[in-house]
Amino acid sequence: MNKPSTIEEVLTNRTRPKSPTAIQASATFAWRALLRIRYVPEQLFDVTIFPIIFLLMFTYLFGGAISGSTGEYLNFVLPGILVMTVSMITMYTGLDLNKDIEKGVFDRFRSLPIWQPSVLVGALLVDTLRYLIASTIMVTLGYILGFRPEAGFSGVIMGVAILLLFSFSLSWIWTMLGIIVRSEKALMGISMMFLFPLTFLSSVFVDPSTMPNWLQKFVDINPITFVVDAVRTLIHGSEANGDVMIVIYISIALIVIFGPLTMYFFKNK
């Protein structure tokens, strides 16, 4: 390898190679996101500390009151808190993007001849990995505390898989907001406004049949309820009740609606 040494010598490189495919470009952006985590490991707090705090807190806070024992409640609530925690941390995707976009580097990405969504797809793929980390930590901690999935290990994997699909799809809402909302704080406010009621007013913590009628009606149409029920079904192996398919439909719908919208705002910012 004959190394050139002056600027003029490195300028002779006129031919551009073929542009990367959509998958290659997405993988490159994913690689970038991984590198960033290496430099700023604090980025992983939300997927490590959060799940631990949530699981311990809710199990021991509500367990005795709701189920009479924390052990029994843990089996009921773990799939729920899993969904809640992972849904909540999806909003960090938007926050990161929002911070990132203010810097000039996005202009460079957008002036490159690449499949434009790869910028976001790559980041979301790594975020899905983060969700997986969070899920693994929760299930492991749960197991130590006495959580026993009735459908065994494979049930847990299926449950986490469907949750990751949903979270990946949900992230597109936050990426879209991350692009159009002006500040991080505003984005935080908006996402909390939706995520808090949606995660609490669902089947995460208690059986909806114990709720007043009007609330049940809301809980029954809350997408989070479907996700929680689907994950619970898969983890505990009760008979499939169509929730899994509904979650898949919801996920596809989220991507179909918010994917193009995100790209529209991304291109026309």
* Chain contacts with other proteins (rule: CB under 8 A): 1, 3-20, 24-25, 28, 31-32, 35-36, 39-40, 103-105, 107-114, 268
Nearest approach in angstroms of CB 189 to other proteins is 24
Nearest approach in angstroms of CB 147 to other proteins is 37
- CB nearer to other proteins: give 46 or 100: 100
- CB nearer to other proteins: give 249 or 264: 264
Nearest approach in angstroms of CB 178 to other proteins is 17
- CB nearer to other proteins: give 111 or 213: 111
From the list 226, 114, 7, 86, the residue with the least C-alpha distance to 234 is: 226
CA 152/CA 101 separation, integer angstroms: 43
From the list 112, 92, 104, the residue with the least C-alpha distance to 184 is: 92
Instruction: State the Rg of the chain over Cα.
Output: 21
Token pair belonging to 225: 């309820």
| Cβ atoms 260, 179 nearer than 8 A | no
Nearest approach in angstroms of CB 32 to other proteins is 6
Nearest approach in angstroms of CB 118 to other proteins is 9
- CB nearer to other proteins: give 29 or 174: 29
List the alpha helices (DSSP H) in 103-210: 105-110, 118-145, 152-180, 184-200
Written as one letter, the residue type at 221 is I
Residues 6+ apart with CB under 8 A from 159: 79, 82, 230, 231, 232, 234, 235
CA 228/CA 118 separation, integer angstroms: 30
Nearest approach in angstroms of CB 258 to other proteins is 22
- CB nearer to other proteins: give 7 or 221: 7
Nearest approach in angstroms of CB 124 to other proteins is 17
- CB nearer to other proteins: give 115 or 218: 115
Q: What is the 3-state secondary structure (H, E, C) of 206-248?
A: CCHHHCCHHHHHHHHHCHHHHHHHHHHHHHHCCCCCCHHHHHH
Nearest approach in angstroms of CB 1 to other proteins is 7
- CB nearer to other proteins: give 99 or 148: 99
| Cβ atoms 167, 131 nearer than 8 A | yes
- CB nearer to other proteins: give 32 or 71: 32
Apex CA 79: angle with CA 209 and CA 231, to 5°? 85
